[in-house]
C-alpha cells in the first residue's frame, strides 16, 4: 500500500502554532480562506491541540458515516455548557440526558407539529413586512439581519413557547436583549478555548456570566408566563414542562427546562442569517425573483394568500432556500471524531481508503464553506443557481453537500421548523417586497460564531411594497404625465388625474385609514414628485416585473 499523503496546513510559529492564521473575531472566514488554499483537508495547531478540517464533499460524506464517526463535543460546544449544561446541542455522546431530551422534544418539532403553527408564523412575518413597507419614504435603509433576528426570536417564542414578545416592534436597528445575550455567549464560547484559562477567568468572566444570566432569565420568564397563563396549549414548552420520556419515564428538571428554552433560540438564530443571505442573492440575481414570482402567481395566485399547503408546492422557492443554505453556510460547520474502538485499539484511522491517516481520537471540523462549493460536484460553485436544488438535480447531488442541517442522530432537531420558516418568509418577501440594494457593488462578507451572517449589508424597500402594503392605491399623475401603454399595474392600483386626487384627499376627511393611503401616495417616488414623463417611465420600470 502506498504511504499516506501528509495533511497540509499553514506552517505556523514555534510554540504559538497557527494562532496567527485564524482571526479570533472571524474564525469561520479564516477557515473558509484556508479551505480555498489547501483544498479537501488541512490541519492547524492551536495551544498544543491539532485540529483537522474537512472541506470536500467526498470526505464530508465519509466522516458522516455514523458506524465509524460521531459528533465531537469539544471546544466551543463544551464552553457553552456553562449556560445550557447537558442540553440537546451540548450533551456528550455518553450522556443519558441526550436521549431523554430528544424523545421529549422531537415530536413537537415534527413536520405536522410545525405545520400546526403556520398561522402564528404568518402573523409574525406579516408584522415584519408591515414594518418594512410602512417606512416608504425613499431611501430608508434597513439592516435586514437585525429585523430578521427579531422576527426569528418572535416566531420561535410564539410557536414553540406560546408567548408574544413584541420583538418585531423594536426600533429600527435595535434587537431584543436575548439576541445580544446569545451573541455575547456564543462569541465568548468560540474564543475561550483559544485563550489561556487564567486570561478567561481574569478578563472575560464578567461578560460570560452576564450573557448567561440574561439568557436564563429570558427562559425563566417564559416558563413563569406559562405557569401563570396555562391555556391547555400542548406545544414544545408544554412538553418540556410536563411530558414524560416514553423510554425511561423521566421528566425534565426545572433547570433542564430552562436549558432547552435557551437552546432553541440559539439553534433557531441560524435561520435569519440564511434569509439575510437570500435577500442579498436575490438582489444580485433579479432573474431568480422573476421566476419565483411566476411560481407564486401560479400556485398562490396574484392576489392569493400563502397557505400551509403551498409550502410543499413551491419547488422553485425551495430551490432558493436550499441554494442559500449551500452558499451562505448559515451554520458554518460541525464537529466529528472517530468512535473509540471497543477493544481500545489506538491505530490510526484511514480516510479515503488510506490516502490520509489521522489519530484514533482526532477531532475534525467539517467546513461547509469548502464542502458546499466543492468544484468536483458543482459547476460554477460560487454562483447562485436555485435550479440545481430542484427536483432530480437536487436528488442526484451527493449526500456530502446536503449537510446544512448536520448529520445523523445529532442533526438539527429544528430542521422542519427551520424549513417552514425559511420557505414561508422567503415566499412572502419575494411576493410582497421589492428590495433595492444600497450598495450595488457589495460583495458578500460574513462573520459570526455558531452561525454566520452577511455583514455591512443594507437594503431599501422599493415601490412594489407600496402596492401590497395597502389594499388599494390611487396614483395621481401631475398634469402632462401619463402611464405609458403596455404597463401592467398591480391589482388595486388606480390611476387618476391630479384634480381627481385632490377630491379624494378632501373626501378622506377624518378617516385615518384613508388619510394614510393618501399619505402613501405622496411618497411614491417619481410619479408624483416629478412632472416629467421620464419619471413615469422610471416608476414603470420599478412596477412589478
What residues line the site for ligand HEM (CB under 6 A)?
71, 88-89, 102, 263-264, 267-268, 270-271, 274, 330-331, 334-335, 404-406, 410-414, 417-418
Task: Return the SS3 of 466.
Answer: helix
Q: Which of 400, 397, 398 is nearest to 385 (CA)?
A: 397
Of all residues in the shown chain, the one whose CB is closest to ligand HEM is: 414
Cα–Cα distance measured from residue 412 to residue 443, given in angstroms and rounded to the nearest whole number? 29
Q: Between residues 270 and 528, which has the closer beta carbon with respect to ligand HEM?
A: 270
Q: Between residues 157 and 168, which has the closer beta carbon with respect to ligand HEM?
A: 157
Cα–Cα distance measured from residue 226 to residue 157, given in angstroms and rounded to the nearest whole number? 12
7-20: buried (b, 16+ CB within 10 Å) or exposed (e) per residue?
bebbeeeeeebbee
Sign of CA dihedral 18, 22, 27, 30: negative
Q: Pick out the residues of the known binding site.
A: 412
Residue 182 phi, psi (nearest 5)? -65, -40
Beta strand pairing call for 364-367 and 473-477:
unpaired
Beta strand pairing call for 364-367 and 49-54:
parallel
Report in angstroms how near the CB of residue 165 gets to ligand HEM at its nearest.
Answer: 15
Report in angstroms how near the CB of residue 102 gets to ligand HEM at its nearest.
Answer: 6
Q: Between residues 21 and 337, which has the closer beta carbon with respect to ligand HEM?
A: 337
Report in angstroms how near the CB of residue 71 gets to ligand HEM at its nearest.
Answer: 5
Q: Between residues 297 and 447, which has the closer beta carbon with respect to ligand HEM?
A: 447
Q: Pick out the residues of the known binding site for heme.
A: 412
Report in angstroms how near the CB of residue 342 gets to ligand HEM at its nearest.
Answer: 23
Report the length, in residues, of the chain: 545
Residue 52 phi, psi (nearest 5)? -105, 140
Q: Between residues 84 and 495, which has the closer beta carbon with respect to ligand HEM?
A: 84
Report in angstroms how near the CB of residue 262 gets to ligand HEM at its nearest.
Answer: 10
**DSSP assigned state of 386:** G
Q: Between residues 411 and 493, which has the closer beta carbon with respect to ligand HEM?
A: 411
H/E stretch holding 364 reads strand 364-367
Residue keyed to cell 452577511 = 454
Q: Between residues 279 and 418, which has the closer beta carbon with respect to ligand HEM?
A: 418
Could you give the C-alpha distances from 381 to 148, 277, 291, 368, in angstroms and in order?
27, 16, 21, 13
Q: Between residues 262 and 283, which has the closer beta carbon with respect to ligand HEM?
A: 262
Report in angstroms how near the CB of residue 251 gets to ligand HEM at its nearest.
Answer: 19
Q: Which of 280, 270, 266, 275 is nearest to 129 (CA)?
A: 275
Residue 51 corresponds to which cell in the numbers above? 485540529
Report in angstroms how near the CB of residue 236 gets to ligand HEM at its nearest.
Answer: 8
Residue 85 phi, psi (nearest 5)? 50, -135
Q: What is the 3-state secondary structure (H, E, C) of 13-48?
A: ECCCECHHHCCCCCHHHHHHHHHHHHCCEEEEEECC
Instruction: State the CB neighbour count (10 A cutoff) for residue 488.
Output: 10
Q: Between residues 103 and 209, which has the closer beta carbon with respect to ligand HEM?
A: 103
Residue 514 corresponds to which cell in the numbers above? 384613508
125-136: buried (b, 16+ CB within 10 Å) or exposed (e) per residue?
bebbbebbbeeb
Report in angstroms how near the CB of residue 464 gets to ligand HEM at its nearest.
Answer: 26
Report in angstroms how near the CB of residue 87 gets to ligand HEM at its nearest.
Answer: 7
Report in angstroms how near the CB of residue 267 gets to ligand HEM at its nearest.
Answer: 2
Q: What is the chain's percent helix, strand, coil content, to nearest 5?
A: 50, 10, 40
Q: Between residues 321 and 465, which has the closer beta carbon with respect to ligand HEM?
A: 321
Amino acid at each position: 500500500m502506498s504511504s499516506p499523503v501528509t495533511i497540509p496546513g499553514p506552517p505556523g510559529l514555534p510554540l504559538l502554532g497557527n494562532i496567527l492564521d485564524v482571526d479570533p473575531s472571524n474564525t469561520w472566514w479564516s477557515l473558509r480562506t484556508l479551505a480555498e488554499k489547501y483544498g479537501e483537508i488541512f490541519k492547524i495547531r492551536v495551544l498544543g491541540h491539532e485540529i483537522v478540517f474537512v472541506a470536500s464533499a467526498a470526505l464530508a460524506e465519509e466522516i458522516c458515516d455514523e458506524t465509524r464517526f460521531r459528533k465531537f463535543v469539544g471546544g466551543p460546544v463544551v464552553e457553552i455548557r456553562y449556560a445550557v449544561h447537558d442540553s440537546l446541542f451540548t450533551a456528550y455522546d455518553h450522556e443519558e440526558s441526550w436521549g431523554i431530551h430528544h424523545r421529549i422534544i422531537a415530536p413537537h418539532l415534527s413536520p405536522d407539529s410545525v405545520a400546526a403553527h403556520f398561522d402564528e408564523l404568518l402573523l409574525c412575518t406579516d408584522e415584519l413586512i408591515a414594518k418594512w413597507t410602512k417606512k416608504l419614504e425613499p431611501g430608508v435603509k434597513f439592516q435586514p439581519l437585525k429585523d430578521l433576528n427579531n422576527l426569528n426570536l418572535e416566531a420561535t417564542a410564539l410557536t414553540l413557547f406560546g408567548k408574544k414578545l413584541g420583538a418585531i416592534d423594536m426600533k429600527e436597528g435595535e434587537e431584543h436583549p436575548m439576541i445580544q445575550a446569545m451573541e455575547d455567549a456564543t462569541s465568548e464560547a468560540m474564543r475561550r478555548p483559544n485563550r489561556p484559562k487564567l486570561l478567561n477567568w481574569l478578563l472575560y468572566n464578567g461578560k460570560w456570566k452576564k450573557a448567561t444570566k440574561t439568557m436564563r432569565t429570558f427562559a425563566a420568564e417564559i416558563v413563569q408566563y406559562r405557569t401563570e397563563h396555562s391555556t391547555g396549549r400542548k406545544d414544545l414548552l408544554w412538553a418540556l414542562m410536563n411530558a414524560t420520556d416514553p423510554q425511561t419515564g423521566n421528566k425534565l428538571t426545572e433547570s433542564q427546562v430552562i436549558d432547552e428554552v435557551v437552546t432553541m433560540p440559539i439553534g433557531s438564530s441560524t435561520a435569519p442569517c440564511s434569509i439575510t443571505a437570500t435577500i442579498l442573492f436575490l438582489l444580485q440575481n433579479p432573474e431568480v425573483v422573476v421566476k419565483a414570482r411566476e411560481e407564486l402567481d401560479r400556485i398562490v395566485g396574484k392576489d392569493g394568500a400563502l397557505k400551509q399547503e403551498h409550502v410543499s408546492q413551491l419547488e422553485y422557492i425551495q430551490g432558493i432556500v436550499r441554494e442559500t443554505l449551500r452558499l451562505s453556510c448559515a451554520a458554518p460547520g460541525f464537529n466529528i471524531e472517530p468512535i473509540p474502538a471497543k477493544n481500545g485499539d489506538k491505530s490510526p484511522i484511514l480516510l479515503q481508503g488510506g490516502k490520509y491517516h489521522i489519530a484514533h481520537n482526532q477531532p475534525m471540523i467539517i467546513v461547509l464553506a469548502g464542502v458546499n462549493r466543492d468544484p468536483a460536484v458543482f459547476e460554477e460553485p460560487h454562483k447562485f443557481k436555485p435550479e440545481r436544488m430542484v427536483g432530480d438535480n437536487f436528488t442526484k447531488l451527493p449526500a456530502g453537500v446536503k449537510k446544512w442541517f448536520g448529520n445523523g442522530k445529532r442533526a438539527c432537531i429544528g430542521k422542519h421548523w427551520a424549513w417552514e420558516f425559511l420557505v414561508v418568509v422567503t415566499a412572502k418577501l419575494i411576493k410582497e417586497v421589492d428590495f433595492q440594494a444600497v450598495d450595488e457593488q457589495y460583495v458578500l462578507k460574513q462573520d459570526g460564531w455558531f452561525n454566520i451572517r452577511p455583514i455591512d449589508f443594507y437594503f431599501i424597500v422599493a415601490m412594489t411594497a407600496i402596492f401590497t402594503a395597502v389594499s388599494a392605491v390611487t396614483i395621481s399623475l401631475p398634469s402632462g404625465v401619463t402611464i405609458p401603454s403596455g404597463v401592467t399595474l398591480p391589482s388595486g392600483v388606480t390611476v387618476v388625474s391630479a384634480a381627481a386626487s385632490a377630491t379624494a384627499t378632501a373626501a378622506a376627511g377624518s378617516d385615518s385609514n384613508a388619510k394614510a393611503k393618501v399619505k402613501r401616495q405622496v411618497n411614491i417616488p417619481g410619479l408624483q414628485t416629478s412632472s416629467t414623463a421620464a419619471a413615469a417611465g422610471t416608476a414603470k420600470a420599478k412596477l412589478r416585473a
